[in-house]
Amino acid sequence: MTLGTSPQAPGLVRRRVAAGATAALLGLAVAFGSGMGTPASADAATFSGIILGVGANEAQRTVTWYSSADNAQQVQLAPTAKLVNGEFPADALTFDAAGAANIASSGGFNRHATISNLQEQTAYSYRVGSDGNWSSTYSFKTQDFEGDYDFLFFGDPQIGSSGDVPKDQAGWQDTLDVALAANPDSELLVSGGDQVETAGTESQWNAFLAPDKLRQYPWVATIGNHDVGSKAYEQHFTIPNNDRSGPLYSNGNPNGNSSGGNYWFIYKDTLFIDINSNSYATSQGGGGDAAHVAYVTDVINQHGSEAKWKVLVFHHAIYSPASHAKDSDAKVRRVDFPTAFSNLGVDLVLQGHDHAYSRSYLIKNSQKANPDEQPGAAEVYPGPGGVLYVTSNSASGSKYYDITKPDSSASSGAGNGADPLNPNSYWYNSVQNQEHVRTYVKVGVRKDKLVVENIRSGTCAAPNAAVERGLSCTNTPEGQPVGSLVDKVTIHPYNGDGQALQVSVPNAAPGEFGWTIDGYNGLVDLGTAVDHDGNFFEATGQINPIVVSDNRRSLAPWSISASVSDFKDAAKTFSGAYLGWTPRVLEDGAGAFASGAVASAYDDHGTGLSVSRGLGWANQGHPKGVAKLGADLALKIPGSVEKGGYRATLTITALSS
């Protein structure tokens, strides 16, 4: 069980009240602790293109494959520890597959099944087929279902785009091998789209699906412009919470020959939303960007509170550095999306399509959020509405686009103007890179930050199809070897977002009575809770201090109080009454006194901080000045509370007369 504290970064949130009450909210966090199968006989079904996919949550996976025969098939699953000499045990689980005939150009049939109720920290083996006719056996492992984790993001493998499928496949295979050798515990492989060059060409799909890593780690598919023109994409990938309604297809027709649709899933406190950016204008026949904004809004309204992070994925980068930066469709999305994403509290947007790496400045409502953010800043602090956009370079080496120059258009909105701090770069980008070497993006999801790294998985040397076929290459293996970083940035999100730092600021003369939270954001970390022989868990911490200033002539009394919500982790919850505190005056002034201590309900069967409790106060006639109030928090909860990453909201109220 861990409780999270975010760094105390610069920046104060200022509130003032002349009279009456204001409330602000502090977040509290606590966490607890193409494989080819082997047919049994010559006329039995053969299996190809087996791929492991992400499920709706961390306890699910999907498996998708092609079959030569149209019979009933299953996924068979068992913990690897139960296999004896490679034989599945008698009590192996089976999951029935669904599927249909493939489109004519694919031939054969597709099958898919969802594996559910996986246990954490378990190695599993699986195979597909039917009794007596199974594929080869593959394996994957689950990890802890709570807490920190890493995922990897891969741009445009686009197998076939160099003109040499085997070379593209070799680079793709090598990036997966290099990335997962360096990061074997990564939990998801996220696609930036354009898996293949030609949507309906199965030989390219076979090459894309060839690496065995795609049967060991779940693939999070994203549709690109090169995948959209065929049903092969939908046949090869099974997607959780899939919305294949007409408006989410570029031509508005899910029953035509193209692929499409949007989906979402929650994986360990991250809400991922993956959208079909091929559809961007209603003139194409679908719902365009408006349908995507409505979809993302809906999903976040319904499920945003079940996760701590919101990550969007789509193919067509809106803040990219190279050949597609000035595309007319990119400019449309660059107008349609950013304000909505800012308002919805999106933390990170992952994109592909431009085959060059970029990391944006924090963008708020279509503008650089902070004009002073420096190029290449290692730490960024999005205030409310700040969103970071990443564009990935090629993961396979099949194609690279060179960085392009800004023009004289605007340095905001749809413009492609220059960055005043770095005139060769677009206004929206903090980092742009193109060396003509393969890279991938690693995202470290931590309780209080996201760490984004762009990492080289190749050098100029083969496998590097585009370079092998004549493109120049500027990388030096001595200075920029495999595994070295192109870029690294740590995002320290603003935990007190629109909900967690609500305050009403009245139209009163400023400076009479005011108070601030003395910290960058609202999240208070209670550290790791300690288990006391299974009887109870205990965790402690301190609230971010409250600075009170009062220079009113009236010398009127004031008080600050607070209450806490229930602690929640998705469906799991425990009462805020288990939180108690001991208020303290940290810096004397303004006549401040600390209010009395409140015990956890675990100790006194009372209501703890679940009802409003005083933090500090001053009497009528108190001296003018500034005080700093703090409180030691003491959480004590029953041993029966389930493991999880819990958060609660502390609502702070100021009263003055």
Q: Which is nearer to Fe ion, 110 or 195 (CB)?
A: 195
Q: Which is nearer to Fe ion, 304 or 321 (CB)?
A: 321
For residue 224, the minimal CB distance to Fe ion (Å) is 5
For residue 195, the minimal CB distance to Fe ion (Å) is 10
β-pair partners for 580: 634
For residue 355, the minimal CB distance to Fe ion (Å) is 8
Q: Which is nearer to Fe ion, 224 or 616 (CB)?
A: 224
Residue 415 contacts residue 337 (beta carbons within 8 Å): no
The span of 72-80, 191-199, 423-431, 518-526 binding Fe ion (CB under 5 A) equals 191-199
Count of residues touching Fe ion (by CB under 5 A): 4
Q: Which residues contact 149 (CB under 8 A, 6 or more apart)?
A: 143, 185, 186, 187, 268, 445
Q: Which two tokens stand for residue 198?
A: 């030609």
For residue 439, the minimal CB distance to Fe ion (Å) is 16
Considering the rule CB under 5 A, would residue 225 count as an interface residue with Fe ion? Answer: yes
For residue 416, the minimal CB distance to Fe ion (Å) is 18
For residue 397, the minimal CB distance to Fe ion (Å) is 15
Q: Which is nearer to Fe ion, 46 or 284 (CB)?
A: 284
For residue 389, the minimal CB distance to Fe ion (Å) is 16
The span of 13-21, 64-72, 216-224, 620-628 binding Fe ion (CB under 5 A) equals 216-224
For residue 226, the minimal CB distance to Fe ion (Å) is 6
The span of 223-231, 422-430, 476-484, 574-582 binding Fe ion (CB under 5 A) equals 223-231
The span of 167-175, 224-232, 460-468, 616-624 binding Fe ion (CB under 5 A) equals 224-232
Considering the rule CB under 5 A, would residue 224 count as an interface residue with Fe ion? Answer: yes
Q: Considering only CA atoms, give the Rg of the chain.
A: 27
Cα 115 to the center of its chain, rounded Å: 23
Alpha-carbon distance of 419 to 404, in angstroms, equals 13
Exactly one of 168, 174, 194, 234 binds Fe ion (CB under 5 A); which one? 194
Q: Which is nearer to Fe ion, 231 or 316 (CB)?
A: 316
Q: Which is nearer to Fe ion, 193 or 591 (CB)?
A: 193
The residues in 298-357 that bind Fe ion, with binding defined as CB under 5 A, are 353
Alpha-carbon distance of 277 to 312, in angstroms, equals 11
Alpha-carbon distance of 152 to 16, in angstroms, equals 44
The span of 117-125, 218-226, 242-250, 327-335 binding Fe ion (CB under 5 A) equals 218-226
β-pair partners for 11: none
Q: Which residues contact 273 (CB under 8 A, 6 or more apart)?
A: 262, 263, 264, 295, 296, 299, 300, 310, 311, 312, 313
Please choose, from the candidates 550, 544, 483, 606, the residue with its C-alpha nearest in 3D space to the C-alpha of residue 27.
544
Q: Which is nearer to Fe ion, 224 or 397 (CB)?
A: 224
Q: Which is nearer to Fe ion, 102 or 225 (CB)?
A: 225
The span of 197-205, 220-228, 280-288, 622-630 binding Fe ion (CB under 5 A) equals 220-228
Which of the 8 DSSP states describes residue 196? B
Q: Which is nearer to Fe ion, 140 or 237 (CB)?
A: 237
In the bound state, the residue with its beta carbon closest to Fe ion is: 353
For residue 213, the minimal CB distance to Fe ion (Å) is 22
Sign of the Cα pseudo-torsion (63, 65, 67, 70, in order) = positive
SS (H, E, C) 240-305: CCCECCHHHCCCCCCCCCCCCCEEEEEECCEEEEECCCCCCCHHHCCCHHHHHHHHHHHHHHHHHH
For residue 133, the minimal CB distance to Fe ion (Å) is 38
Give the number of other Cβ atoms within 10 Å of residue 523's Cβ: 25
Q: Which is nearer to Fe ion, 352 or 645 (CB)?
A: 352
- In DSSP notation, 295-364 reads HHHHHHHHHGGG-SEEEEEEEE-SS-SSTTTT-HHHHHHHHHSHHHHHHTT--EEEEESSSSEEEEPPEE
Residue 563 contacts residue 613 (beta carbons within 8 Å): yes
Q: Which is nearer to Fe ion, 199 or 539 (CB)?
A: 199
For residue 279, the minimal CB distance to Fe ion (Å) is 14
Considering the rule CB under 5 A, would residue 644 count as an interface residue with Fe ion? Answer: no
Site mask, Fe ion, residues 139-178, x = CB under 5 A?
----------------------------------------
Alpha-carbon distance of 205 to 50, in angstroms, equals 11
Q: Which is nearer to Fe ion, 88 or 280 (CB)?
A: 280
Give the number of other Cβ atoms within 10 Å of residue 96's Cβ: 11
For residue 243, the minimal CB distance to Fe ion (Å) is 22
Q: Where are the beta strands (DSSP E) in 327-474?
A: 348-352, 357-360, 363-364, 367-368, 379-380, 388-391, 418-419, 422-426, 429-433, 439-445, 450-456
SS3 633: strand
The residues in 521-560 that bind Fe ion, with binding defined as CB under 5 A, are none
- Give the interface with Fe ion as residue ranges (CB under 5 A): 194, 224-225, 353
